[in-house]
Amino acid sequence: MNRVPTVGGQALDLHHLFVEVTSRGGIEKVITDRKWKEVITAFNFPTTITSASFVLRKHYLSLLYHFEQVYHFNKQIPLVSGTDAMNGRSLVNGSATQEEGAITNQFYSKGMCQLLLSM
């Protein structure tokens, strides 16, 4: 669990990801305004990495979302279990097992879960 996330075999700069997303209003705004292409462009990934937006969103949600809410937006977000908020579904693809969902989704608020499921 302490491994550095990678995209296309390269270590992902989490600070850069956080800055790119928060400079566009945060993850919820990036998702609703469909700004992932802008975020991806900032990383200069090779065009062969077709899953970049999915991978960046997955890493952001699992590693940075709670930090964004608490430290960037000064919100108090209670941790909810993935099965309570998502009925066993993952925010990333909606099909994780309950164990994966509980681990992955421990940082999400119910509003964020509903937003991502409506996409």
Do the Cβ atoms of 49 and 70 come closer than 8 Å?
Answer: no
pTM of the model: 0.63
Q: Give Cβ neighbours of residue 46 (< 8 Å, ≥ 6 apart).
A: 8
pLDDT tens-digit readout, 81-112: 443 333 444 444 443 333 333 333 444 444 55
Q: Is the pLDDT of residue 13 over 90?
A: yes
77 has a pLDDT exceeding 90 = no
Would you list the DSSP string of 8-26?
TTEE--HHHHHHHHHTTT-
Kindly report, residue by residue over 24-63, the tens digit of the pLDDT: 999 999 999 999 999 999 999 888 889 999 999 999 999 9
CA-to-CA separations, 68 to 12, 30, 78, 87, in angstroms, rounded: 17, 13, 14, 24
The residue whose two tokens read 């077709």 is 50
